[in-house]
Structure 1
């Protein structure tokens, strides 16, 4: 099977294994290279009566929230990406809308619908968003910690390859790790904002049309084969 350039998947588990498997099924030469590990942290669920909706920007929030998540099941869920929406439904939550263009776009849609009190179940490290006047309350239920690059990382990034950045932190970490030696590397980000965090100097830097694995892998596949020519 000819998968073109190697594809390096940097997201934490369990998403890493899922993305790597999807890439391999598409015939890509994919390698699991997680640069982060996710873990649950202590949190206390507020009264759902204080909110109009639950915002989820990562499936990790659903996977790591624990039993307290059930207490928020009465709130309609606004999820960024199909993977997050699927995880929410599997946990017994009701998804009112799935955002296809990132968290800010989804927040804009929520406020245009006059949703005023929003609970954002999120990670300890998170990006900032313009709440457009709504009361947006972030509540961390998990943390994503940087880990040492796995064995084989240095060898892989020393040669032409395509790297996936599923978050702004991932883009920044990849950029820091490869430094200025990146003119032979291509990077695929989950959104334009994430791509910007990776900086310049790549052989190619591109953002997926939709914030999900399918869109990222379609773009990565094209770059893997393009880079091989």
Structure 2
């Protein structure tokens, strides 16, 4: 069985590894990035009629000022983000299962227009439609040394890539002549393209969530 190498940041990497272990896979974590909190100015919650959070990293790294927005209707991208928001005291979080653009359309359909969107310095684009999105960077993702990666890819392995930025970094870390025995499972078509060429295979999940990524990875690991 090929080992699975999970390259996403913590704490998500640990959650993915735990789920992989439940599926009988041998998994190791080697995050290519880690989150770092930024100092940020919190705009008045009175200026917004909804809150959108696209990553659980926002909840983890925004700090106590995020609590100012608990009274706003709350929306999240993905179940993990919604769960993190609920744990942080947000009630009745509405979760979208695809991407930020899809949940933005839901927010607009619910009648909201001015939306607070705290997040990372580098975030996936969101089509706002009729919404006015007020973005504030509350964290940044910085590169780790990823020194353990060499030892983890010395043999055939399956690599999980959770963002285009991670795909680009992986392409920079692994020389083309080393890619022939390595399979890549990417969270999206954009992340798949960022990994470059020369891999044994590169596949994107049909929807951007861990369950579908792990289903692909299991077939490649066996």
TM-score by length of 2: 0.91
How far apart in 2 are the matches of 1:91 and 1:183?
Answer: 44
1:70-149 correspondence runs (5 A): 70-149=67-146
Describe the shift of the 1:132–1:35 C-alpha distance in structure 2 as closer, same or farther (beyond 3 A). same
For 2:164, the equivalent position in structure 1 comes to 168
Q: Secondary structure at the match of 2:176?
A: coil
2-side partners of 1:112 and 1:223: how far apart? 40
Q: Over aligned residue pairs, what C-alpha RMSD do you find?
A: 1.8
CA contact (8 A) 2:55 2:81 kept: yes
CA distance in 2, matches of 1:98, 1:211: 14
Aligned to 1:40: 37
Do the aligned partners of 1:82 and 1:212 also contact (CA within 8 Å) in 2?
no
Q: Give, in whole Å, the separation in 2 of the partners of 1:15 and 1:198.
A: 20
Q: Does 1:9 align with 2:9?
A: no
8 Å contact kept, 1:85–1:95: no
The alpha-carbon deviation at position 159 of structure 1 amounts to: 2.5
Distance of aligned partners of 1:47 and 1:83 in 2 relative to their CA distance in 1, 3 Å threshold: same
**Corresponding pairs, count:** 221
- 2:8 match: secondary structure: coil
Q: Hey, what's the Cα distance between the residues in 2 that align with 1:196 and 1:53?
A: 33
Q: Is the 8 A contact 1:12 1:35 kept in 2?
A: yes
Contact 1:80 1:211 survives alignment (8 Å): no
How many angstroms does 1:114 deviate by?
4.0
Q: Is the 8 A contact 1:188 1:207 kept in 2?
A: yes
Deviates further, 62-71 or 196-205: 196-205
- Which stretch of the first structure deviates more once superposed, 55-64 or 11-20? 11-20
1:180 maps onto 2:137 in alignment: no
**Other-structure match for 2:21:** 24
CA contact (8 A) 1:83 1:212 kept: no
Would you say 1:150 and 2:147 are equivalent positions? yes
Residue 112 of structure 1, CA deviation: 3.9
Question: Does 2:220 correspond to 1:208?
Answer: no
1:58 is matched with which residue?
A: 55
How far apart are residue 95 of structure 1 and its match?
Answer: 4.2
> Secondary structure of the residue that 1:44 maps to in structure 2?
coil
